[in-house]
Amino acid sequence: MPRKTKLIVTLGPATEKEETIGELLDAGANIFRLNMSHAKHEWARQMTRLIRRQSEQRNLHAAVLFDLTGPSIRTGDLDEPYELNIGDLVEFRKAGTDPSIPLSTTVNYPGMMDDVVEGRTLVVDNGTLLMEIRTKKDDRILCEVRNAGKLGSRRHINLPGTRLNLPAMTDKDRKDLALAVECDADFVAGSFVRDAAHVHELRSATDALEGTAQIIAKIEDQEAVKHIDSIIHAADGIMIARGDLGIEVDFEDLPILQRRIIKRCHELSTRVIVATQLLESMVQNPTPTRAEVTDCSNAVYEECDALMLSGETSIGKHPLRCVDALVKITRRIERSGGLGYGQKAPLLDERQKVARAAITLADSLPDSLLIVLTRRGVLANKVAMLRPRTRGFYAFTPKETVCRQLSLNRGVKAFRLPFAAGMDETIERATAFLLEHNHVRPGGPMIIVSDLLSDHIAANSILLHHA
């Protein structure tokens, strides 16, 4: 059985060589993520060129994901890190103001002082430091340290339970988005999305630049969870970014939220990615912990579309071993079955009903393939979200961009194929391709579903064909 769960790999110093990118493709990477929080523009251009070249050499359609920094709150620069002890007071102040105590740093969001509430928790550096907000003033806040640790420069700040009035996109995001469009990115991820309006703003900015990238909304705080349905409707895909989300919510709630969001994505026919700390120990170690194996297995069992590696492949010591570990985990769990949210999803439109009928037929015929003919990828996405069980699920499209964007869909393998004027000839071309590449045996059953023009009529159709 082909692997169904797709793998997203973050590039960085550990994986930026062209040879390594090729090895990652051979190992099973489907999408490459460029983290614009750290990437320089010329580096991102170069990585995109290398990905495209290595993919073309292998006749693959690997996609490129630009992950925007988003409106994150960060501390300022320090000459030396502060060594903090329990009970110390730390000041966070607006840029341009003078410190009032020795342990003081600036923040890049001047509105933070208006948003926070005394007595609430302030979290620094992904949970490394916990503080209580003791005093709030117009231009600064004073916080009491709750656990000993080190505070360095440009550390990320979380404010669990606080509604922040940050913009959807920063000036840096807009420059990085222009670069993504220049590089013909397949996906753009918006960080710290809090409601559907933020998704619409990112999409409008992409459209204004005449970009074709699909929009991924990263779910990272309680506001996003509160508006999850409208965000799912607005986005092309959802990323459950468990690092920040796990700080913003009670940690024991995180597995429940992950499962709930995945289920809702299946119900609303939107792709979903599980990300952050999948194999965190493998940044240093050559094998995953058993807890990490179980965590990844749960995400596969929940039938997410993709798993994403971050530091494990960008700065880790064993990037190829990380991809190999995920391939082994996904293959094994997929053989054991899944939760089946996709099979139970409500059918909300005509395309979904056609997709369900095609899947039912394909799953009922032994050794059958499921084939989708699609120009824009919409029908292929509808079919994929219903989670067919058939061993072979292929999409044919004349557009390279559609092939790459389908690399995020669970289970489907996309091929580029020029479509003929008539449906019959297009089917023959697809059949010949599958026979040539040994994807189907001669005479094997193929369920072909399409919404292409036939005699100048747009018609959803299902055809039982034999190779």
Residue 277 banded pLDDT, cuts 50, 70, 90? very high
Mean pLDDT for the stretch of residues 138-144: 96
Helix axes 378-385, 350-364, angle to 10 degrees: 60
CA neighbor of 30 nearest in space, from 1, 2, 5 = 5
Average pLDDT over residues 249-275: 96
Tokens 């669970």 correspond to: 410
Distance of alpha carbon 2 from alpha carbon 16, whole angstroms:
28
Residue 256 burial (CB count, 10 A):
11
Q: In this structure, are strands 63-67 and 413-416 parallel, antiparallel, or unpaired?
A: unpaired
CATH superfamily of 350-466: Pyruvate kinase, C-terminal domain (3.40.1380.20)
Cβ within 8 Å of residue 301, ≥6 positions away: 333, 336, 337, 338, 339
Q: How far apart are the first and last CA of the chain?
A: 20
Output the six-digit token pair for 185. 């990115």
Q: Per-residue pLDDT for 66 more than 80?
A: yes
pLDDT tens per residue across span 352-363? 999 999 999 999
The residues annotated with a catalytic role in the active site are: 33, 74, 218, 276
Q: Please list, residue by residue across 292-329, b when 16 or more beta carbons sit within 10 angstroms of its beta carbon and e when fewer do.
A: bbebbebbbbbbbbbbbbbbbbbebebbbbbbebbbeb
Mean pLDDT taken over the chain: 94
Using one digit for the tens of pLDDT, what is the confidence trace for 2-23?
899 999 999 999 999 999 999 9
Q: What is the mean predicted confidence (pLDDT) over 316-329? A: 98
pLDDT at 161: 83
Provide DSSP, 2-16.
---SEEEEE-STTT-
Order of all β-strands in the sheet with 369-373: 413-416, 392-397, 369-373, 445-450, 461-466
Kindly list the domain boundaries of the chain, sorted by start residue.
6-71+168-335, 73-158, 350-466
pLDDT of residue 386: 94
Cα gap 161→63, rounded to integer Å: 35
Length of the chain: 467
Which pLDDT does position 104 carry in this prediction?
97
With the C-alpha atoms ordered 212, 407, 279, 342, is the resulting torsion angle positive or negative? positive
270 close to 305: Cβ distance less than 8 angstroms: no
Task: Tell me the per-residue pLDDT of 280-308, one tens digit each, with 9 for 90 and over.
Answer: 999 999 999 999 999 999 999 999 999 99
Work out the average pLDDT over 430-434. Answer: 94
pTM: 0.93
Asked if residue 193 lies in contact with residue 221, where contact means CB atoms within 8 angstroms, the answer is no
For residues 235-259, give the mean pLDDT: 94
CATH class, 6-71+168-335 region: alpha beta
- pLDDT recorded at residue 459: 63
Burial class for 183, CB neighbours closer than 10 Å (0-12, 13-18, 19+): buried
Q: Decide yes or no: CATH 2.40.33.10 for domain 73-158.
A: yes
